[in-house]
Amino acid sequence: MSTTNFDRIVEGDSHAELLAHGGMYHDLFKFQTNAIGFAPQASPDFHDQAQDVRAMDQGRHERDQVNTTSRQEKRVRIVTKVVRDTRYATFQMAALAVPRDERKAVWCGQKDVPLRRLAAIRAAANGQDDRQAMAKKKALVTGILGQDGAYLAKRLLEGGYEVYGAARRSSSWNSWRLRDLGVEQHIKFEYFELLEYENMRRLIDRLRPDEVYNLAAQSFVASSFEQPLYTADADAMGVLRLLEVCRGIDTGIRFYQASSSEMYGGVSPAALNENTPFHPRSPYAVAKTFGHHATVNYRESYGMHASAGILFNHESPLRGREFVTRKITSVLAEMKAGAPTTLQLGNLEAKRDWGFAGDYVEAIHLMVRADKADDYVVATGQICSVRDFVIAAAAALGFELDWSGSGVDEKAHDRKTGKLIVEISPEFFRPAEVHTLLGDASKARRELGWAPKVDFEGLVTMMARADYDRAMSGKQLM
Ligand code: NDP
Ligand code: GDR
């Protein structure tokens, strides 16, 4: 669709042409607004009127027993109104997309609105000023090599962002998730370490990002019992360092903190929301609770647009293999592909509200783009046990489990082959377990318009299939 066609509408045609093209104008208008995902403020009865024009074009008004003259008049009136609304809406869009001194020419139809500029309108519609809307937004994503980093990077790139990926230096570059999503080559990588204040300060001073997403963390709860000091330094002090750097450089930087449902501690079976008190039960959760409060504090003290997403467990084929869901699907897939192994697990009765990471990064982005910063629970509202997950994944891979024994002696064999599939290993129990976590995301639903798209069954099947395909391709599972 060329802008030249669309500009014909801006310029306006003779009534005769309007009569001939009423329907087309409406289609063009719809196309243009859909293409940029932005609904300009046409008059409320715009769509009804356009429908009327269509109906007339199709001769359906013949039955109205209106005489030809009044029908023609009505038609001209409606089409004129449609075009006036369209002109106004187009001008609104153009006004947001072009610099002030060029607007007159656009309004007079002497200048095209380049389509690439229209992408900036979405940002403008979210309340940014013209200068910001014109520029491509810069996002700095810490933890870019992790599961959420990959999905978020994809989403931001699709939204036209310049994405800076902050990753710590390692002897082996580990970007398989970004490769898997086909986005690695579009990311500008920067070395970043949560423990190094000066490293962060220099980086943010140089980049001057519009948005900072702090996803980096020592994220494995079990490891936090082994490395509590490191976990606190990275997951608690790391957040404070980053907030302090942003505050010092530009309090206008929008900040997102990856808070966690672990902060609740699983002491209540009720659905948890933003008002539920925290009761952290691991060094990881203690550190995350500090990071969460620090984020709220910087918002309240310095007026920063700092939001914290209290995300419940979210999984995907890109989840690390140490987490229980991916451990289950990857080991079962390897067994299905013939590997001589068994699935060793800890507490099968732990219950979680498991969602899909691809859905959850959408909530993260909505929080950062919202007019007002706040805290939001992100969850599905559906709870299942580790045992439920094992059964569902096994079924997806064609195993039928026969359970026997109890406690650490519990086992599951495949009914058809008699093969041992699951056994319990005390190694995977935790010093303090979080028994149950169910989220109530009604605030996110209400205020951000967010809702998960993938349910538990969809998630398990997606992960099991992805791991089976990987195992059958002979590649080593990451
Ligand atoms: P991952 O473990 O997949 O990713 C975390 C990333 O942080 C990794 O890329 C890791 O780098 C990086 N990182 C760790 N330590 C440091 C450090 N000292 N300096 C710089 N980078 C570091 O986690 P997820 O993607 O699953 O989660 C993203 C965030 O969301 C985390 O903060 C997590 O705690 C939080 N969260 C996650 C939930 C979930 O269910 N996934 C739920 C609630 C919160 P490297 O690749 O080198 O190890
Ligand atoms: P969690 O995720 O601790 O909830 O933290 P994980 O998948 O590690 O554990 C979930 C539950 O499963 C039980 N479990 C096992 N866990 C693992 N890893 N391995 C096992 O063999 C096993 N057997 C049973 C655990 O005891 C636990 O109850 C995740 C992380 O992504 C955090 O970063 C995030 O903040 C929270 O989710 C919300």
pLDDT higher than 80, residue 1: no
Domain ranges in the chain are: 3-131, 136-472
Indicate the pLDDT class of residue 358, thresholds 50, 70 and 90: very high
Indicate the pLDDT class of residue 476, thresholds 50, 70 and 90: confident
Alpha-helical segments (H) within 98-196: 103-107, 115-125, 130-134, 147-158, 176-180
The residue whose two tokens read 């359970």 is 403
d(CA 312, CA 355): 8
Indicate the pLDDT class of residue 474, thresholds 50, 70 and 90: confident
d(CA 67, CA 62): 9
Binding-site residues, ligand 2, Cβ < 6 A: 219, 221-222, 260-262, 312-313, 322-324, 327, 345-347, 350, 352, 386, 428, 430, 433-434
C-beta of 262 in contact with ligand 1 (< 6 A): no
pLDDT higher than 80, residue 50: no
Nearest ligand 1 atom to alpha carbon 288: 34
Least distant ligand from the CA of 231: 1
Residues with Cβ within 8 Å of residue 384, at least 6 apart in sequence: 351, 352, 354, 392, 456
CA-wise closest residue to 188 among 139, 232, 235 = 139
C-beta of 258 in contact with ligand 1 (< 6 A): yes
The percent of residues in the chain predicted with pLDDT above 90, rounded, is 69
Whole-model pTM: value is 0.78
The residue whose two tokens read 């084929």 is 317
pLDDT per position as a tens digit, 408-457: 999 999 999 999 999 999 999 999 999 999 999 999 999 999 999 999 99
pLDDT higher than 80, residue 321: yes
Give the C-alpha distances (Å, rounded to integers) separating 385 from 223, 279, 316, 324: 21, 21, 17, 11
Class of 136-472 in CATH: alpha beta
The structure tokens listed for 458 are 């969809």
Query: Which of the pair, 132 or 468, is modelled with greater confidence?
Result: 468
The amino acid at 15: H
DSSP states along 412-464 = EEETTT--EEEEE-GGG--SS---B--B--HHIIIII-------HHHHHHHHH
Q: What is the pLDDT of residue 477?
A: 86
